[in-house]
Amino acid sequence: MKEHTIQLNLSPERKPKPQSADLGFGKIFTDHMFIMDYTEGQGWHDPRIVPYQPLSLDPSCMIFHYGQSVFEGLKAYLTEDNRVLLFRPERNFQRLNRSNERLCIPAVDVDMAIEALKQLISVEKEWIPKWEGTSLYIRPFIIATEPFLGVKPSSRYQFIIILSPVGLYYKEGIKPVKILVENEFVRAVAGGTGEAKTAGNYASSLKAQEIADRKEYSQVLWLDGVEKKYIEEVGSMNVFFKINGEVVTPALNGSILDGVTRNSVIQLLKHWGMTVTERRISMEELREAHQAGQLEEAFGTGTAAIISPIGELLWKDEKMIINDGVTGPVSEKLFHTITSIQGGKEPDPFNWTMEVEQCIEVK
Ligand SMILES: *Cc1c(COP(=O)(O)O)cnc(C)c1O
């Protein structure tokens, strides 16, 4: 790891830990954060764990003007026997580097990033909520910090990891949601940044989401940006359909985000002997399957909810109710199996979990 020893500067103060009812998503942050700087010519340097604090940035910093930033999202889970598990963290940091490549941000060393994360979590172990279904959400991100208004890749960056204890996503078991098929706005196009986890993709998705909210739909189903025919993603999740016994998910085509949950779902379904196909699928095909009574289940996949069943799709004026609006058996089994592996309650046949050893004792 070269000169990458991580400096430790512990906070003199500790905030009170939240109660289960206060958790929610992304509102509460722990006592410390990880931060590392990049300077052209010097590379990434000065990795450190410091008290959680505001950043002081020049108003001309490039992140504020041209959106050169990338992020990740993963979780740490506390097991019943008090061990801490991460779920496939190497895939998140490898994806961070693919996002970096697309946004002209210098790569980070994956092993170094995982080591930094383990040390940070080790410091913050007491912050991992212990209640069923809760976890510590991890948000690594990189921002361009060169103070300059010219358009070019920044010569300086900061890589930061913050942690947030989060609650149960579904209060009464998993519950199907209503989805509005979006026919006007698009999330991403091939050749664009859809494959990268970058802030701009989220900024451009807000308008459609706002309209869906007003109509009391919980997310939008994104179609391809060229013909608006083919299904891409649902909200900020990947999407799966079970049609006449076969599970279908849109193939990674350059505008779809390569989700860790998506990949895990595909592996599990194959492991169970089910047929899973990654291919192009149109709304027209989905409608025909629905009319023929063959659209058996639909669900989104992502780190936040793991599996989010879809109970209704509204496309133009046509309402399609899926599986009578209740959670289907495949969605249920996937949710149960993945969350059980993540929480260390079930065997981990694919070696997906990584234990965080307590390497730093904090009083
Ligand atoms: C993060 C993300 C996902 C889900 O990825 P996971 O690794 O499964 O959490 C899906 N789609 C988009 C657009 C995303 O940003």
Whether residue 43 is contained in a domain is answered as yes
Give the torsion sign (CA, 316, 236, 63, 41): negative
Between the CA of 334 and the centroid of ligand 1 the distance, in Å, is 17
pLDDT category of residue 174 using cuts at 50, 70 and 90: confident
Between the CA of 234 and the centroid of ligand 1 the distance, in Å, is 10
- By residue range, what is the domain housing residue 198? 177-327
Whether residue 362 is contained in a domain is answered as no
Residue 14 contacts residue 31 (beta carbons within 8 Å): yes
Instruction: Please tell me the number of Cα atoms within 13 Å of 19 on its side-chain side.
Output: 1
User: Are 150 and 185 contained in the same domain?
Assistant: no
Q: What is the pLDDT of residues 318-361, one digit of tens each?
A: 999 999 999 999 999 999 999 999 999 999 999 999 999 887 76
Between the CA of 282 and the centroid of ligand 1 the distance, in Å, is 21
Q: What is the pLDDT of residues 268-299, one digit of tens each?
A: 999 999 999 999 999 999 999 999 999 999 99
User: Are 147 and 235 contained in the same domain?
Assistant: no
User: Are 83 and 161 contained in the same domain?
Assistant: yes
Determine the Cα–Cα distance for residues 350 and 332; give it in Å rounded to an integer. Answer: 20
User: Are 163 and 42 contained in the same domain?
Assistant: yes
**Is pLDDT at 363 greater than 70 in this prediction?**
no
> Per mean pLDDT, which range of 133-147, 167-181, 295-309, 343-357 is the poorest?
167-181
User: Are 108 and 230 contained in the same domain?
Assistant: no
Whether residue 344 is contained in a domain is answered as no
pLDDT category of residue 172 using cuts at 50, 70 and 90: low
User: Are 46 and 148 contained in the same domain?
Assistant: yes
User: Are 267 and 299 contained in the same domain?
Assistant: yes
Whether residue 107 is contained in a domain is answered as yes
User: Are 26 and 92 contained in the same domain?
Assistant: yes
For 99, the 3-state DSSP assignment is helix
Which residue among 237, 267, 301, 342 has the greatest number of ligand 1 atoms within 8 angstroms of its CB, and so is best to mutate?
237
Q: How much is the average pLDDT of 255-266?
A: 98
* Domains of the chain: total: 2
Whether residue 61 is contained in a domain is answered as yes
| Binding-site residues, ligand 1, Cβ < 6 A | 73, 197, 233, 236-238, 257, 259-262, 301-303
Q: Beta partners for 39?
A: 43, 156
The whole-number pLDDT of residue 216 equals 94
* Residue 34, both tokens: 């990880």
CB atoms within 10 A of CB 221: 26
> Per mean pLDDT, which range of 7-16, 241-250, 353-362 is the poorest?
353-362
Pairing of strands 74-78, 32-39: unpaired
Determine the Cα–Cα distance for residues 220 and 313; give it in Å rounded to an integer. Answer: 9
Whether residue 332 is contained in a domain is answered as no
**Is pLDDT at 3 greater than 60 in this prediction?**
no
CATH number, position 193: 3.20.10.10
- Give the residue, by CA position, lying nearest to ligand 1 atom 5: 259
Phi, psi of 50 (to 5 degrees): -135, 165
User: Are 308 and 223 contained in the same domain?
Assistant: yes
The atom number, within ligand 1, closest to the CA of 91 reads 7
> Per mean pLDDT, which range of 44-58, 101-115, 168-182, 329-343 is the poorest?
168-182
Between the CA of 253 and the centroid of ligand 1 the distance, in Å, is 15
CATH number, position 134: 3.30.470.10
Which residue among 71, 231, 238 has the greatest number of ligand 1 atoms within 8 angstroms of its CB, and so is best to mutate?
238
